[in-house]
Structure 1
Amino acid sequence: MNIHLQMPRAPETKSLDADVAQAFEEFLSTFEDYRQSNDQRLAEIERRGGDILAEEKLARIDTALDEQKRTLDRLLVKRARPDLGRGDGREPSAVRQAFEAYVRRGDEAGLRQSERKAMQTGSDPDGGYLVPDELDSEIGRRLSELSPIRSIATVRQVSGAVLKKPFALDGMATGWVGETDARPQTATPQLAELQFPTMELYAMPAATASLIDDSALDIEEWVAAEVEAAFAEQEGAAFVSGDGANKPRGFLDYPSVDDDSWSWGKLGHIATGSAGAFGTDPSDRLVELIYALKAGHRQNGRFVMNRKTQAQIRKFKDADGNYLWMPPAGAGQSASLMGFSVVEAEDMPDIAADSVSIAFGDFRRGYLVVDRTGVRVLRDPYSAKPYVLFYTTKRVGGGVQNFEAIKLLKFTA
């Protein structure tokens, strides 16, 4: 007989689970109120041309819905943060002990010895040391939770400064032949190269000496928590609209053309037919955007937009009276629009004249995030006394790798 023992869950984890469940139920309840209020508003418009009170009520519920979604997102991220191996009873590795000694007391001897054993140099020309692998992995995992584009893009790790990716402008040279037929020479493909340089991203959390000396403080957990939000915020903006100068190049920085005139190196867009608005039939524009993608990309398609754009879309119905936007099926899942997942990226533009406020595509194929291996920390107790600064850096690049896989909705006539 096999007996499986299940370890009891920590009280804090149980409390977080309960908070997440309650927040999700409140979110669904508020969305149901939203739908009823919107139905009432539409009925009033048909009956007598509009009702100011109904509009105000809907706006209040819409604001509450967004705030509850933010609360739910914060709880989900908090619940997803595991400890960094401190609660399993095992002794930390020598590298982690040396890193903790460096962060707490500025003792570099242990890290220097670890470097010699590994026959590598963990410090760069500006100083600092590579964080332990566990902390490096945890920072990367947390960024994937907080950085919306990173979570849906392809992420590659490199050891050099630039990732170079060759591709054939006219596709691969191919042909059909029989088993014993001669193989005629195919046309020579015209090759080009995409380059994805990595740029330095930094954060500089500060701590008091008493906080660092507190033996109860998990120093690795503290470093990860302090840098995650700063890194994710900068990454989120760069992956959407970065200009490629000392930062990744965002997909909205590439030139876009009407999808009928699409060519490699540009992103195709669908016009709404109305400047700063969806036009007379929003569902038609969204359908056109979806089917602008090839079938191979469409099956993995996701919508990307900010909360304000979602707030407008939540009001839309199809010809049968069904809402186009649906709430998540469970806590931690995504809302859906016409059957496709919606990714919230607050750095996407608000709807305005000639704005590109919605993207739809297979971002796993379309966008590439490049991480250079290693996160470095430099301890600085001098620049901001009595605080100790921790200059934390990582190198990140990004850009579009497949211009067929992403389409845009442009709010223009």
Structure 2
Amino acid sequence: MDTETTTLETKSGIPLDAVVTHAEMMRAFEAFKESNDERLALEQKRAGDALMEDKLARINAAIDAQQRKLDDIVLKAARPALGGEQKAARGARAGEHRLAFDAYMRGGDAAGLAALEMKAMSIGSNADGGYTVPMEIETEIGKRLAAISPIRSIAGVRTISGTVYKKPFMTAGPAVGWVGESDPRAQTASPTLDQLSFPAMELYAQPAATASLLEDSAVNIDEWLAQEVEAVFAAQEGTAFVTGDGSNKPKGFLSYDTVANASWTWGNLGYVASGAAGAFAGSHPSDTLVDLIYALKAGYRQNANFVMNRKTQSTIRKFKDSTGQYLWQPPAVAGGRASLMTFPVVEAEDMPDIAANSLSIAFGDFSRGYLIVDRAGVSVLRDPYSAKPYVLFYTTKRVGGGVQDFDAIKLMKFAAS
């Protein structure tokens, strides 16, 4: 095992502990399948067995724990380092900006940034609003958010320089038809255009540092700042992209009007009913998952993902197909995603638990269906006064989001119809 995992780590760059954790999760899933099969056999003989249910729940929890551990390991390995070769590759102007920013962060010396601001207003901002971080730090924060923010990892992302991104679309296209070579052409109707607006709202974090940390030259301030804001930004973004109401935040895809998929119209998200209020149907529960998959047009299914929280996933983990094969499968490799009916499963803890009329499962091509708008620039304002002896760093970025293609995402509603 040691030789095999070491070889895998060397060939693919996968950390050894990630390989070991993945192997442990696969063993736990095999135990889960064995126990679940025993439970199903017992249910055929009597109403149920409390000890077997308890055993199954414990193994289910173990699989979840291994998945969380694996996600953490892979996330750490995916984080690119700041410094070294990147620093050597910068131009003189970028290097000057970074040195001035480092002096501002460590000691509050804003003179260098103020001088740069006079040279080019696009680099810095006034002291009351903070200063724009160097490009490599902004890029690092963006990469970290993409790695840990579930919806950002699958959605479409566009960077803008203004405050609002407006996207035109056709509500009715021009009239078309077949015509002979010499036949007269009737005048066609003009297309009807409308537009979607995605305003970028302010998202902030306020990490604190001690004076000794800032004075320690061995501490990489760039890395520290990126680590401090990544979790806060990702948590707030994750909630907004799913359930945000659009007021001073992005509008989440669950906040749009929904209709039964048979009655779908533009501006609404279509849903498929699970067959029972607050649950899957009592018989053949997985049939509605098939209905959900095929509610999506073929062109969107090629890049589609399931989105649900961990608790919903644990319920689906027990489902089998007609041949007795489990529909949910763990990641095939360390760093991969679990799959459901061959489609990747994205865990978003902001998705609601299964309950009456809940929209607990989403399925679709989120790269075409949901758009995240990032305004270029991350700003930092140093505040050594508000929380003495700590120094606060008021860090802001502007981000918006909303559905851009209402036909690319379908939902499952846990209702009878």
Please give the range of the TM-score, normalised by the shorter of the 2 chains: over 0.9
1:125, 1:319 → 2: CA distance?
A: 65
Q: 2:336 aligns with which of 333, 350, 355?
A: 333
State the Cα deviation string for residues 258-313 of structure 1 (Å, max 9, x = none).
Answer: 11111111000001120010112222100110111111111111100000000000
Identify the residue that residue 75 of structure 1 maps to in structure 2: 73
Q: CA deviation at 1:178?
A: 7.0
Deviates more, 1:389-398 or 1:184-193: 184-193
* CA offset digits 1:306-339 (Å, max 9, x no partner): 0000000000001111111011111111111011
Q: Contact 1:201 / 1:231 at 8 angstroms: preserved in 2?
A: yes
Distance in 2 between the 1:161 and 1:120 partners?
15
| 2:399 alignment counterpart | 396
Measure, in 2, the Cα distance between the counterparts of 1:234 and 1:158. Answer: 20
Alignment of 1:169-318 (within 5 A): 169-171=171-173, 174-176=176-178, 184-279=186-281, 280-318=283-321
CA distance in 2, matches of 1:20, 1:353: 38
Match of 2:109 among 107, 110, 114: 107
Matches within 5 A, 1:40-119: 40-86=38-84, 90=88, 93-119=95-121
Q: Which amino acid aligns with 1:226?
A: E
- When the two chains are superposed, the root-mean-square deviation of aligned CA atoms in Å is 2.0
1:6 corresponding residue in structure 2: none
What secondary structure does 2:237 align onto? helix
- Secondary structure of the equivalent of 1:300? coil
Q: Match for residue 414 of structure 2? A: 411
Q: Give percent identity, aligned residues only.
A: 63
Amino acid at match of 2:117: E
Query: 2 CA distance for matches of 1:276 and 1:119?
Result: 55
Q: Judging changes above 3 Å, is the alpha-carbon distance between structure 1 residues 376 and 52 closer, same or farther for their aligned structure 2 residues?
A: same
Secondary structure of 2:80's aligned partner: coil
Mapped partners of 1:180, 1:110: distance in 2: 73
In 2: Cα distance, 1:179 partner to 1:132 partner: 61
Partners of 1:405 and 1:194 in 2: how far apart? 16
- What is the rounded CA distance, in whole Å, between the counterparts of 1:109 and 1:285 in structure 2? 63
For 2:3, the equivalent position in structure 1 comes to none
- For residue 26 of structure 1, what is the amino acid of its counterpart? E
Distance 1:339 1:205, change over 3 A: same
SS in 1 for 2:276: coil
Q: For residue 16 of structure 1, report the CA deviation from its aligned partner.
A: 8.0
SS of 1:372's equivalent? strand
Shift of residue 99, structure 1, vs aligned partner:
0.8
- Distance of 1:221 and 1:73 partners within structure 2: 20
Q: CA deviation at 1:186?
A: 2.5
How big is the shift at 1:181? Answer: 7.3
Give the letter for the 1:78 counterpart: K
TM-score by length of 1: 0.93
1:55-111 CA deviation, whole Å, 9 max, x = no partner?
100001111111111111111111111211236683871111111111001111111
1:5 corresponding residue in structure 2: none
CA change 1:89–1:164 in 2 (3 A) is: closer
Deviation of the 1:180 alpha carbon = 7.9
The secondary structure found in structure 2 opposite 1:152 is coil
Cα 1:113–1:176 change in 2 (3 A) is: farther
Please report how far the alpha carbon of residue 121 of structure 1 lies from its aligned counterpart in structure 2 after TM superposition.
5.4
Kept after mapping to 2: 8 A contact 1:16/1:75 = no
More off after superposition, 201-210 vs 183-192: 183-192
Q: Which of the numbers 357, 366, 389 marks the counterpart of 1:354?
A: 357
CA 1:85 to 1:184, structure 2 compared with 1: closer, same or farther past 3 Å? farther
- 1:390 aligned partner, one-letter code: F
Match of 2:322 in 1: 319
Query: For 1:202 and 1:78, how far apart are their aligned partners in 2?
Result: 23
1:148 matched to which residue of 2?
150
Q: Give the unaligned 5+ runs of structure 2.
A: 1-11
SS of match in other structure, 2:354: coil
What residue is the counterpart of 2:122 in the other structure?
120
Q: Structure 2 length as normaliser, TM-score?
A: 0.92
Tell me if 1:369 matches 2:367.
no
State how far apart, in whole Å, the 1-side matches of 2:109 and 2:184 are: 70
Q: Distance in 1 between matches of 2:115 and 2:109?
A: 11
Change in Cα spacing, 1:137 to 1:399, as seen in structure 2 (3 Å) is same
Distance 1:125 1:365 in 2: 39
Partner residue of 1:19 out of 17, 37, 43 = 17
The secondary structure found in structure 2 opposite 1:264 is: coil
Letter in 2 for 1:166: P
**Partner amino acid, structure 1, of 2:153:** S
Superposed CA offset, 1:348-375 (max 9, x none):
0000011000000011110000000000
Report the 3-state secondary structure (helix = DSSP H, G, I; strand = E; otherwise coil) of the residue aligned with 2:57.
helix
Distance 1:131 1:274, change over 3 A: same
